[in-house]
Amino acid sequence: MEYSEKVVDHYTNPRNVGKIEDASGVGEVGNPVCGDIMKMFIKVENNVIVDVKFKTFGCGAAIATSSISTEMIKGKTIEEALQLKNTDVVNSLGGLPPVKLHCSVLAEEAIHEAIADYYRKEGKMTEEEIKEKCNLKEHHCDSCGI
Amino acid sequence: MNTIYLDNSATTKTDEEVLKAMLPYFSENYGNPSSIYKIGRENKKAVEEAREKVAKVLNCEPNEIYFTAGGSESDNTAIRGIAYSYKNKGNHIITSKIEHPAVLETCKQLEKEGFEVTYVGVDENGIIRLDELENSIKPTTTLITIMFANNEIGTIQPVKEIGEIAKKNNIAFHTDAVQAVGSERIDVKEMNIDSLSLSAHKFYGPKGVGALYVRKGIKFDKFINGGHQERNKRAGTENVPGIVGLGKAIELAYDSLEEHNKKIKELRDYYVEQVKEKIPYIKINGDMQKRLVGNSNISFRFIEGEGLLLNLDLKGICASSGSACTSGSLDPSHVLLAIGLPHEIAHGSLRVSIGKYNTKEEIDYTVESLVEIVGRLREMSPLWEKFIEEGNK
């Protein structure tokens, strides 16, 4: 299995690692059984994601997708961030091996969960509205059935 | 950057002396051993000399040794060959949950073909449960196949006891000794082993060549059809350079076995001690006594093995892991799960397997690198964060 140079760069020097103490929203997806957990922290000001940090337990691809997706949503409006697709993340990384594609899905889900958490804290929308707006899905892992 | 090779259970570097012994058989002595002329006859002799060397190490007769293309082929040949030869007597096979895929997948295939297989469990150190093994014997059992030593956690099985159980019940006993040959002294007579697989590249020989021992009197079907090579059990022109290399490698390994093992064990113990001392929250997997001298398997909690391997690779260090991401599937190692490790701890495992070329300086550099990498990956891990926040529970 070969990783692209970009993937190697991101797992070697991951960007935006850490946590935001006064985060506007925090999203966590995955589980330790599968071997991947991503936790995304966002700071929102005037509908713009002004800061983003992550923590990831997982393989090289999981670390690289977390890292690059923080770069891709920093400075973006919430609506723009919600439009980020896992395929965009994969393309920006110069591709991922097929068995690692699920890592990019996790990154997309982590961002959506963080934004949903922000909306919940804001308290302006119902849970139904948040679910729809953030396109929240039940995470499903084929290997462990969780 | 120098390569620090700590994956000697995966394969080993071919010994210079082995390579030297092999070279003439490519472009000088290239005759087919089945041919009648001089360069053929001489190669036949070279193959038979290698066979004698293997037989001497295992304490069996040369005509009980068959050369193959490696450990997997030897396992396939023995298990399928014996199972089908004794099919009129019964269709039940006993193996363990921690076998190499070459054995497990062969057994699964036999199940599809109408055989019945019992997969015996192991204790928390990876030692086979002998009572479970004995209790699973049926009147229809014809074969027990249990590995000599495990490839991931290095655990050495009570082979002699298994051999006795098999003998007492008149069942053939095969052992996959791919990890053990070159590291452990093996006497097939004393240990009641009826069949044994070995592979040259695990003991500084070439890749793509192995051998199968089958005791005289144990029947097994031919695996590859064709010519009459290997006493009509394994067709195909002999891999003469490979076989010569295997012979040389096994001879070298056992000429200085105790000397090499002493050095390797010291390095392995030093590595484990250093990791224990310098990195908290680790788990040592497998039995520390009944274990191959070069093997270590340590789980680093809160991190995932592939990330660890990639970072080690950037420092020139070669090792392996039982994490899902390195197994090519989404499940962590079946061996680590069989000894009862939770998934998340199995994901963080690192196998460092030490060989005769490793040095103390390499171990120091590796431990130093691990301290840094494990620290960095933990800082990045939400599991670590949670653990710290919850007060190290």
Least confident of A59-63, B18-22, B254-258: A59-63
At B283-330, the pLDDT tens digits run 999 998 999 999 999 999 999 999 999 999 999 999 998 876 665 566
> Residue A121 phi/psi, 5° resolution?
-65, -35
Q: What is the pLDDT of residue A141?
A: 55
Q: What is the pLDDT of residue B332?
A: 84
Residues of B labelled as active-site residues: 325
- Tell me the pLDDT of chain A averaged across its residues: 89
Q: What is the pLDDT of residue B97?
A: 97
Least confident of B3-17, B172-186, B286-300, B319-333: B319-333
**A11, B307 Cβ separation under 8 angstroms:** yes
A15 touches chain B (CB under 8 A): no
Residues of B in contact with A28 (CB under 8 A): 382
- pLDDT higher than threshold 60 for residue B357: yes
Q: How many CA atoms lie within 13 A of B155 on its CB side?
A: 25
- pLDDT higher than threshold 80 for residue A139: no
At B216-270, the pLDDT tens digits run 999 999 999 999 999 999 999 999 999 999 999 999 999 999 999 999 999 999 9
Question: Average pLDDT for residues B122-128, to the nearest whole number?
Answer: 96
Question: Average pLDDT for residues B202-208, to the nearest whole number?
Answer: 98
Percentage of chain A beyond pLDDT 70 is 93
A9 Cβ partners below 8 Å, 6+ apart? none
Q: Cβ A57–B382 below 8 Å, yes or no?
A: yes
Q: CA–CA separation, B80 vs B107, rounded Å? A: 8
Q: ipTM of this model? A: 0.90
- Amino acid (one-letter) located at B345: I
Q: How far is the alpha carbon of B311 from chain A, nearest alpha carbon, in Å? A: 7
Q: Cβ B314–A12 below 8 Å, yes or no?
A: yes
Q: What is the pLDDT of residue B393?
A: 59
> Residue A40 phi/psi, 5° resolution?
-120, 130
At B366-376, the pLDDT tens digits run 999 999 999 99
Question: Average pLDDT for residues B91-119, to the nearest whole number?
Answer: 97
Mutate to test the interface with A, among B331, B337, B380 (most CBs of A within 10 A): B380
Percentage of chain B beyond pLDDT 70 is 98
Q: Which of A35, A141, A143 sits opposite B323 (nearest CB)?
A: A35
**B79, B102 Cβ separation under 8 angstroms:** no
Q: CA–CA separation, B47 vs B25, rounded Å? A: 11
Q: Which of A3, A8, A37 sits opposite B382 (nearest CB)?
A: A37
A13 touches chain B (CB under 8 A): no
Q: What is the pLDDT of residue A126?
A: 84
A50 touches chain B (CB under 8 A): no
Q: Which of A32, A61, A63 sits opposite B383 (nearest CB)?
A: A32
Q: What is the dihedral of CA B258, B264, B269, B272, to 10 degrees?
A: -150
How far, CA to CA in Å, does B238 sit from each of B33, B37, B248?
Answer: 7, 16, 16
- pLDDT higher than threshold 50 for residue A2: yes
How far, CA to CA in Å, does B143 sit from each of B82, B91, B107?
Answer: 7, 9, 11
Q: What is the pLDDT of residue A105?
A: 86
Q: What is the pLDDT of residue A143?
A: 47
Q: How many CA atoms lie within 13 A of A97 on its CB side?
A: 15
* Run of H or E residues at B60: none
At A83-95, the pLDDT tens digits run 998 899 999 999 9
Q: Which residue of B has its CA nearest to A67?
A: B380
Q: Which of B310, B324, B381 sits opposite A57 (nearest CB)?
A: B381
Residue carrying structure tokens 């009862």:
B340
At A94-108, the pLDDT tens digits run 999 888 888 888 899
Q: What is the pLDDT of residue B139?
A: 97
Residues of B in contact with A67 (CB under 8 A): none
**A122, A141 Cβ separation under 8 angstroms:** no
Note which residues in 94-133 of chain A have CB less than 8 A from chain B.
99-100
Q: Which residue of B has its CA nearest to A61?
A: B307
- Amino acid (one-letter) located at B176: D
Q: What is the pLDDT of residue B325?
A: 65
- Tell me the pLDDT of chain B averaged across its residues: 95
B105 Cβ partners below 8 Å, 6+ apart? none
Q: How far is the alpha carbon of B170 from chain A, nearest alpha carbon, in Å? A: 41
B369 touches chain A (CB under 8 A): no
- pLDDT higher than threshold 60 for residue A144: no
Q: Cβ B330–A34 below 8 Å, yes or no?
A: yes
B323 touches chain A (CB under 8 A): yes
Q: Which residue of A has its CA nearest to B378?
A: A57
Q: How far is the alpha carbon of B296 from chain A, nearest alpha carbon, in Å? A: 21
Q: Which residue of B has its CA nearest to A63?
A: B307
- pLDDT higher than threshold 70 for residue A142: no
Concerning whether A144 is annotated as a catalytic residue, the answer is no
**DSSP string spanning B113-148?**
TT-EEEEE-B-TTS-B-HHHHHHT--TTEEEEE--S
- pLDDT higher than threshold 50 for residue B35: yes
Q: CA–CA separation, B128 vs B287, rounded Å? A: 12
Q: Which of A39, A58, A100 sits opposite B307 (nearest CB)?
A: A58
- pLDDT higher than threshold 60 for residue B210: yes
Q: Which of B302, B307, B383 sits opposite A60 (nearest CB)?
A: B307
Alpha helices in B90-239 (DSSP H): 101-112, 130-135, 159-168, 229-232
Residues of B in contact with A63 (CB under 8 A): 307, 380
Under the banding of pLDDT at 50, 70 and 90, the label for residue B344 is confident
Residues of A in contact with B383 (CB under 8 A): 32, 37, 57
Q: Cβ A35–B307 below 8 Å, yes or no?
A: no
